[in-house]
Amino acid sequence: MSLVKEHELHKRRRGRNIGVGLVLAAFIAIIFGLTFVKVTRENFQVQPQQGVTDGN
Amino acid sequence: MSDASLHASPYENEAQFGDYFALLKPRVMTLVVFTAFVGLLAAPVGVHPFVGFCAVLFIAVGGGASGALNMWYDSDIDAVMKRTAKRPIPAGKVTRDEALAIGLTLSVFAVVFLGLATNWVAAGLLAFTIFFYVVVYTMWLKRLTPQNIVIGGAAGAFPPMIGWAAATGDISTASVLMFCLTFLWTPPHFWALALFVRMDYDNATVPMLTVTHGRRATRRHVLVYTVLLAVFAIGLGFTQVGGPVYLATSVLLNALFLKGAVQIARRDEAQAEADSYKVEKKFFKLSLLYLFAHFGAILVDAGLDRLGVWG
């Protein structure tokens, strides 16, 4: 039996699903924010690759 | 079969998001957040506000994870104590395996991300805090010694040190003394409560000082820890986090706290029962203000210092 569009399970777990969704969204926002802060700092440096510095 | 049981949903006890959140002991988390925040802001090194926010968040998640692991291990004793019987595991909402999985996942997440966001000294301290609370306190010593409150208090005392390390990358006299403040405050705070609230730790076979050594000894312990606390709390005022606001607050509150502890030590049970544990209750209420005001004063001094008020 396939799930109908609004199965009872969807209603029952709505709170849980919304909660997990919000946590994941917050996680993405935090990673994005942290990356932004780190790369825009004055002392931020990208490590040069070995091949690039050797001129190969 | 009754009519009610025919209509009862088989999913009535299904966990909601709030039940999983309750595993993280949100009330304990508020103290963790506040003290970690103070440790971070009192540090002499400035931190980007967003990094600071993330650091406090990861410390709180780490604290919450250790709470979940504590509930996983202690589910047997939680079920027999009235105060803890409604926790998600004994209430049948969340399984022990789920609590273990959430606790371990969030522990690793919090430590790794605190390290990436700030530094590995702070991350190492957070990892040690989780280990200390879960393994040393919960698994090993809680059911073994009546000094369990002292050991549990140590685990709860690390957040300001972690906050400080997140900003500075090291451990200093000031951060160790901030640790001592919560560490030495916990025993008199909790034992005062144990004197006037009947606790059912006996049913759970957890040794409590009031039962193993008696109420007379508990009263003496409250006084000894309060004297030690006063020394370390006022001593903190002479480190780099101390200032006029902190010193004034600390001297006043320690005088009041010592007075209360002396009164508790001098009383016997007959006197306490005669006035319904008035002194013990007053001391307990003061203990709540004591910790909040001390960390609050550190925050005020740090703010005034940044504004250049003290020159």
> Cβ contacts (< 8 Å) between A34 and chain B: which residues?
50-51, 54, 116-117
d(CA B160, CA B204): 32
The whole-chain average pLDDT of chain B stands at 93
Delimit the domains of chain A by residue range: 8-42
The pLDDT value recorded for residue B204 is: 76
> Cβ contacts (< 8 Å) between B17 and chain A: which residues?
15-16, 18-20
pLDDT of B80-110, one tens digit each?
A: 988 899 999 999 999 999 999 999 999 999 9
CB B28 within 8 A of CB B152: no
Whether B117 and chain A come into contact, CB under 8 Å, resolves to yes
Number of Cβ within a 10 Å radius of residue B276: 9
pLDDT of B231-270, one tens digit each?
A: 999 999 999 999 999 999 999 999 999 999 999 999 999 9
Indicate whether this complex's ipTM tops 0.90: no
B65, B39, B188: which is closest to B133 by C-alpha? B65
d(CA B294, CA B131): 27
Contacts 24+ apart (CB under 8 A), B47-51: B47/B118, B47/B166, B47/B167, B48/A37, B48/A41, B50/A33, B50/A34, B50/A37, B51/A34, B51/A37, B51/B117, B51/B118
Q: Per-residue confidence at B275, pLDDT binned at 50, 70, 90?
A: very high
The pLDDT value recorded for residue B6 is: 54
The pLDDT value recorded for residue A10 is: 79
CB B241 within 8 A of CB B293: no
DSSP secondary structure letter of residue B143: T
pLDDT of B187-206, one tens digit each?
A: 999 999 999 987 777 777 78
> Cβ contacts (< 8 Å) between B18 and chain A: which residues?
15, 19
The pLDDT value recorded for residue A56 is: 47
CATH class of B16-169: mainly alpha
Q: Calculate how close chain A gets to B63, using CA atoms only, in Å.
A: 17
CB B298 within 8 A of CB B248: no
pLDDT of B120-169, one tens digit each?
A: 999 999 999 999 999 999 999 999 999 999 999 999 999 999 999 999 99
**Mean per-residue pLDDT pooled into runs of 10, chain A (56 residues):** 69 89 97 95 74 54
Six token digits for residue B215: 């109420």
Report residue B137 CA to chain centroid gap: 13
Q: For residue A30, give the nearest of B11, B18, B54 by CB distance.
A: B54
